């Protein structure tokens, strides 16, 4: 379509509609089946000591965060690269990349909100006898929902960034495991990190998502010392949420910048 004299706001609305039509036409609801199955499987193995003992809570939270990151990246890892030829053509006729990415942000945000509802409900039901009793800022289930949403959404934004950089879907799916591995090993859960790895860890979604769940669970009250990242105060939890949201904002801005140069490359 001719985008030359269409405002950014109108372009955004057009592409939002396109995204939701694609969800319906491609039977996008099927993704909720995999989200539900992953959540159920993780809850089956985390055990009844989750939110009760220190080690079980930390390992259970880590498994849930890893699932959230996988869900988010898988949502969007192929979204842009599969439309690259269309994007290049429409960019030459006036498509604003900020409008295009804003539309995907809106659509992916709505998808992540729904996925976070499903994950939170499954976690709450699976841990009904030993769930967090008291939240830091609000009801524990609400805090958990916000954390899951921000983890999935920021991971989704990371997927969009990767998709905006790579050449095709095959490359995107090749890069995806490496992105997940970095989140896994740099979270601070499996290995003690120091020096450069500690710096890299600060740039991972997994570290701050894990800290947010453990903060809501007040893991420091369960013994084995004090973990600074998990200080159970409202201000600290809000700070962790802001960090996760910040990842999404930064990844979104980088995606726009990447696509602005799409005409100047052979991608």
Q: Give the start-end residues of each E strand in the chain.
A: none
- Residues 12-63: pLDDT tens digits? 999 899 999 989 998 888 999 999 999 999 999 887 888 988 888 989 999 9
Burial class (CB in 10 A: 0-12, 13-18, 19+), 175: middle
Residue 96 forms part of a structural domain: yes
Of the chain, the percentage scoring pLDDT greater than 90 comes to: 60
What is the reported pLDDT for 2? 45
Sequential DSSP letters for 199-264? HHHTT-HHHHHHHHHHHHTTGGGGSS---GGG---HHHHHHHHHHHHHHHHHHHHHHHHHHHTGGG
User: How many structural domains comprise the chain?
Assistant: 1
The answer on pLDDT for 65 being more than 50 is yes
What is the reported pLDDT for 261? 80
What is the reported pLDDT for 254? 95
Average pLDDT, the chain: 89
Residue 52 forms part of a structural domain: yes
Exposure string of 135-150, with b = 16+ CB inside 10 Å and e = fewer, is bbbeebbebbbbbbbb
Residue 232 forms part of a structural domain: yes
Residue 189 forms part of a structural domain: yes
Max distance between CA atoms of the chain, in angstroms, equals 63
- Residues 96-138: pLDDT tens digits? 888 999 999 999 999 999 999 999 999 999 998 889 988 899 9
DSSP state of 263: G
Q: Which helix (H) or strand (E) holds 98?
A: helix 97-126
The answer on pLDDT for 264 being more than 90 is no
- Residues 169-206: pLDDT tens digits? 899 999 999 999 999 898 887 777 788 888 899 999 99
User: Would you say 263 and 92 are in contact if contact means Cβ atoms under 8 Å apart?
Assistant: yes
Q: What is the mean pLDDT of residues 65-93?
A: 88
What is the reported pLDDT for 5? 57
- Model confidence at 1, in pLDDT bands (50, 70, 90)? very low
Separation in Å, CA 109 to CA 64, 97, 102, 103, 160:
19, 18, 10, 10, 12
The SS3 call for residue 72 is: helix
What is the reported pLDDT for 3? 46
**End-to-end Cα separation, the chain, in angstroms:** 22
Separation in Å, CA 34 to CA 39, 69, 112, 120:
8, 14, 14, 15
User: Would you say 136 and 238 are in contact if contact means Cβ atoms under 8 Å apart?
Assistant: no
What is the reported pLDDT for 263? 63
- Residues 224-233: pLDDT tens digits? 667 888 898 9
Q: What is the mean pLDDT of residues 68-81?
A: 93
Residue 2 forms part of a structural domain: no
Phi, psi of 132 (to 5 degrees): -55, 130
Residue 90 forms part of a structural domain: yes
Query: The domain containing residue 29 runs over which residues?
Result: 8-264
């Amino acid at each position: 379509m001719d985008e030359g004299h269409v405002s950014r706001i109108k372009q955004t609305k057009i592409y939002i509609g396109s995204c939701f039509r694609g969800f319906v036409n491609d039977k996008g609801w099927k993704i909720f089946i995999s989200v539900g199955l992953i959540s159920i499987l993780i809850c089956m193995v985390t055990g009844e000591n989750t939110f009760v003992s220190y080690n079980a809570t930390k390992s259970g939270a880590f498994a849930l965060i890893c699932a959230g990151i996988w869900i988010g990246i898988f949502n969007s890892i192929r979204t842009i690269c599969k439309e690259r030829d269309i994007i290049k053509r429409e960019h030459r006729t006036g498509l604003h990349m900020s409008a295009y990415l804003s539309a995907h942000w809106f659509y992916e945000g709505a998808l992540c909100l729904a996925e976070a509802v499903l994950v939170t409900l499954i976690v709450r039901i699976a841990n009904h006898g030993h769930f967090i009793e008291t939240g830091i800022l609000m009801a524990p289930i609400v805090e958990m929902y916000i954390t899951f949403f921000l983890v999935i959404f920021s991971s989704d934004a990371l997927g969009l960034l990767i998709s905006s950089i790579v050449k095709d879907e095959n490359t995107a799916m090749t890069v995806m495991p490496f992105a997940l591995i970095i989140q896994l090993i740099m979270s601070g859960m499996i290995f003690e990190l120091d020096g450069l790895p500690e710096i890299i860890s600060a740039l991972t979604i997994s570290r701050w998502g894990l800290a947010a769940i453990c903060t809501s669970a007040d893991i420091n009250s369960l013994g084995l010392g004090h973990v600074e990242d998990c200080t159970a105060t409202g201000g600290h939890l809000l700070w962790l949420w802001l960090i996760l949201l910040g990842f999404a904002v930064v990844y979104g801005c980088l995606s726009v910048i990447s696509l602005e140069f799409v005409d100047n490359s052979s991608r």
